[in-house]
Amino acid sequence: MKKSNIFAYIELTKLVDELKTSPESASVKQKLKSQSAYFNIIEPRYFSDGLVGEWENILSVIKQKGAKVNEEGKVISNAVSNTIDQLEEKECQALVDKIKVVYAKVQQEFQ
């Protein structure tokens, strides 16, 4: 079985580090939204066969609402940001927990 790509490991490390919360910091939802670009650059193909499905599941949840467009049809918010805006704080926390699980598994592949 092939390991996940080192790119996925490095980028997930950065993402998880940014998502760590402290009591006085921004909400989980705000942290997730501020890191939304990672969900467009970390593609499923960078993961080992066993983790592709888990990452695809995370992506399907975080992009489920699609892009937000104005009355002229212009995109005003991408799919990730638009979806995060519509999630409850507890849903955001559940998503962060799933990301951390995938990260832990990728980390194990590199040890």
Q: Does a structural domain hold residue 104?
A: yes
Q: Does a structural domain hold residue 1?
A: no
Q: Does a structural domain hold residue 41?
A: yes
Give the total number of structural domains in the chain: 1
Confidence band for 22, pLDDT divided at 50, 70 and 90: low
State the pTM of this model: 0.88
Q: Does a structural domain hold residue 50?
A: yes
pLDDT value of residue 27: 87
Mean predicted confidence (pLDDT) in 41-56: 95
Residues spanned by the domain of 41:
6-109
Q: Does a structural domain hold residue 16?
A: yes
> Tokens 């960078």 correspond to what residue?
46
Amino acid at the residue 55: W
- Asked if 12 contacts 103 with a C-beta cutoff of 8 angstroms, the reply is yes
Confidence band for 57, pLDDT divided at 50, 70 and 90: very high
d(CA 94, CA 57): 13
In whole numbers, what is the pLDDT of the chain averaged over residues?
A: 91
Q: Does a structural domain hold residue 13?
A: yes
Q: Does a structural domain hold residue 83?
A: yes
pLDDT value of residue 16: 95
